[in-house]
Amino acid sequence: MTRLGVPEIEADWALFLDLDGTLLDIAPRPDAVRVPDRLPGDLAGLSQCLGGALAVVSGRDCSTIDHLLAPFAPPGGFGHGAELRSADGILLPDSMPVPPAAWAESLAALVASRPGLLLERKPHGLAVHFRAVPDEGTRVHESMQRLAATRPADFAVLPAHMAFEIRPRAATKARAVETLMAAPPFTGRRPVFVGDDVTDEDGMEAARRFGGLGLHVGRDFTGGPAQVRNWIARAVAHLSPDIAHAQS
Ligand SMILES: [Mg+2]
């Protein structure tokens, strides 16, 4: 069954969901996002309907994800896949490089010199947001490229929504999909990856390699994150009428 061209969620799917721009509307600053009241409960309910095979795959770090979605603490790939958490809540050991402290200092100086720029320090990455000063995008990109070029085997600069980010080259959303699909409750399910950004495309490709789907917020979900949230709420009601009734 389809509605607006997007297939409805099936009980044998494994869902991989990006956060910002997919589940949450983009905010002027990353710390200003608003989490709709019912979203954590809907995600937890849907996870139950899917046997626990619902993951969040985001550029944000694990502790921020847990803060935003509390009390739901999903498995997933955080820091674009640098941090992985399995369905039983175990953080998998990682061997990802950490950007040198000197890079953070250099970017902090850049940000301090240009009001409106914002530096976000993550466990495995450094992001500079220029949404408030779009003209600074090129300068930010060049500065980050210069830093990452000193360790090209380890780090790459990636574009995000009005931001650039230095992150470990090996940290990808595909890695999160591949790792989670290798173990229960994900193994054997049809992976469906929903994202809105260039950093989601390798996750979508990985889902397709496992016989699944990649759905794009914009091209497929033309109604943006609100449409994704409605799609999830509808699936909770369809796949688990007893849960939906108990909560209403
Ligand atoms: Mg996104």
> Taking ligand 1, which is a single-atom ion, which protein residues have CB atoms under 5 Å away?
18, 20-21, 196-197
Domain limits for position 201: 2-94+171-247
- Indicate if 106 and 214 belong to the same structural domain: no
66 is catalytic: no
Same domain, 87 and 147: no
CA of 91 to the centre of ligand 1 (A): 22
Same domain (yes/no): 65, 182: yes
In this structure, are 7 and 27 located in the same domain? yes
> Do 111 and 82 belong together in one domain?
no
* Of 50, 45, 124, 46, nearest in space to 84 by CA: 124
Reported as a single tens digit per residue, the pLDDT across 98-142 is 999 999 999 999 999 999 999 999 889 999 999 999 999 999 999
Could you give the CA distance from residue 35 to residue 144 in angstroms, rounded to a whole number? 30
Q: Total domain count for the chain?
A: 2
Average pLDDT, the chain: 93
- The lowest-confidence range among 71-75, 169-173, 241-245 is 241-245
pLDDT value of residue 30: 87
CA 155 – CA 59 distance, rounded (Å): 15
Distance in Å, CA 77 to ligand 1 centroid:
13
Question: What CATH number did the domain enclosing 152 receive?
Answer: 3.30.70.1020
Domain boundary among 148, 168, 188: 168
Where is pLDDT greater, at 95 or 147? 147
In this structure, are 26 and 141 located in the same domain? no
Q: Are residues 14 and 84 located together in one domain of the fold? A: yes
pLDDT class of 218 with cuts at 50, 70, 90: very high
Q: Which of 18, 42, 61, 196 is catalytic?
A: 18
Residues 111 and 163 in one domain: yes
- One domain for residues 70 and 126: no
